Structure 1
């Protein structure tokens, strides 16, 4: 008669610890999902669902003036945009506007950040004052600059007349080129402080030992900027480029209050056409298509920024 099998050996202490660790990790994961579940549901309801619904609307012919004529038309709204000469003209205007605003913002923000990073009397007060334009809403910003550029009672005309630089008051916003550049300037003035804050935060993380060593090696100001400052600012510079590009593409309130998209279509960027199509003409299908075109352009340009800066340094995204 065969002898009974020996009882199974108890699990080794290492196996018990591994199982206990796995069980604790699984319970921690479930607990994390349970605690973050309400926030995820709210986030999906407030962000993901409206975004998805706007894309769904862009695939329909939906005009509030003809509510009974709503139907699915696929990508016809997007094809209609590329056949519209008004959209193509606004696309060129938007491209020039974005390039001008982003380049001016980056250059001026870099200069101001370098100045505010130095130690001098009243630096804290100047840093605080630099935040004021950023705290101003876009509508108020447009109203302020429209008052300054006014052809009859504008402060700019009064100042230039007192200085003897002009003989009579000028209508600065009546010419297409003047309106375009002054609108870009107003947009830069409004968004510049945020870029300065980001670059200033990046400058504060650079070890002073690097500059001391560079001075010992007799490196000049431009060499220190190119070899030390600029590589350390790649991450905040990337954030500035992406956010300022998004702001320039979506710059509606300042432009609408300042020029209304005119004169003619000199300042009629895509965001202005988007709001005008959706709210004035109540064409929500075509207006949603405008929104997704802006999103696509912003995404493509942002990926280009990341690809360009990633080859020059490493940063956390």
Structure 2
């Protein structure tokens, strides 16, 4: 007499989910986690491709050397000012555009579609386009202002430190603004119309309706925009590199630009990796601060 065959216990939904996602998780570990971990390991070494024989483990010396490095500290200040300018302008302009596009008017759908175009443009193409516009000899900006009679001769807009910084920030805002508009417009669409009706009955003016109804409902979308736009602005490289190359002088030399130059121009991958990890740590701290502020105000859904 043979024993009855044992029935196999079916997999739970959780186990089945992990099994089906295992290949994707393995690919993420190989393509993302390993390079990130290896870059941190490299940052703990004196590693210059021009001198492969002197590769040596030095611990945190690369990071400690940044404390009294005037070039790095200057680039850190430029990055902080760049982030404040870009994020501030993006939030204000994005909120204004979202409020306009949330209204009902003829051609709203077309305008909403056109707003997405700058976001679809790669950073390198964005930099090339604005470099052509701001060109001192053949730039469209000079041609337009000359035709309008606002200037008498062509100007070298990118030759001054202030002009280069502001125009680079403008190009970055132009490229990333549509994302903020999309997030804020989605937040505006969730506000119940009954709240505005009640505010109108209470004789609330436009500013009161915005402050008491619109802004509280946009708090979470605004903070999401702050997190992502801050990260993007701090890591911005391609537009800055193509438009100004970090100049004139060090007016637009951000930490992200300095990182790439340190690795590609000076082949110092150890110190360059340390620069990259400083960017990562700063953006993590800022993001955690934003998220902490967000959770103190309530929960949110992405």
TM-score range, shorter chain: over 0.9
Aligned position for 1:207: 192
- Which residue among 4, 7, 14 is the counterpart of 1:29? 14
1:156 and 2:141 correspond: yes
Of stretches 205-214 and 186-195 in structure 1, the one that deviates more from structure 2 is 205-214
Measured against aligned partners, the alpha-carbon deviations of 1:118-175 in whole angstroms (never above 9, x if no partner) come to 0000000000000111111111111111111111111111111111111111111000
Alpha-carbon offset, residue 306 of structure 1: 2.1
- Which residue among 128, 151, 160 is the counterpart of 1:143? 128
Alpha-carbon offset, residue 33 of structure 1: 2.1
Aligned position for 2:95: 110
Aligned position for 1:239: 224
Aligned position for 1:9: none
Distance 1:93 1:62 in 2: 27
- Which residue among 12, 21, 25 is the counterpart of 1:40? 25
1:81 and 2:66 correspond: yes
Distance 2:200 2:156 in 1: 51
Which consecutive unaligned segments of at least 5 residues does structure 2 have? 1-7
Distance 1:250 1:52 in 2: 19
1:168 and 2:165 correspond: no
Aligned ranges 1:1-317 → 2 under 5 Å = 27-316=12-301
Distance 2:162 2:117 in 1: 28
The normalised TM-score by structure 2 is 0.94
Alpha-carbon offset, residue 315 of structure 1: 2.2
Aligned-pair Cα RMSD in Å = 1.6
Counterparts in 2 of 1:314 and 1:35: CA distance versus 1, 3 Å? closer
Of stretches 93-102 and 220-229 in structure 1, the one that deviates more from structure 2 is 220-229
Higher CA-based Rg: 1
The normalised TM-score by structure 1 is 0.90
Distance 2:190 2:279 in 1: 34
Distance 1:29 1:164 in 2: 69
Alpha-carbon offset, residue 24 of structure 1: 8.0
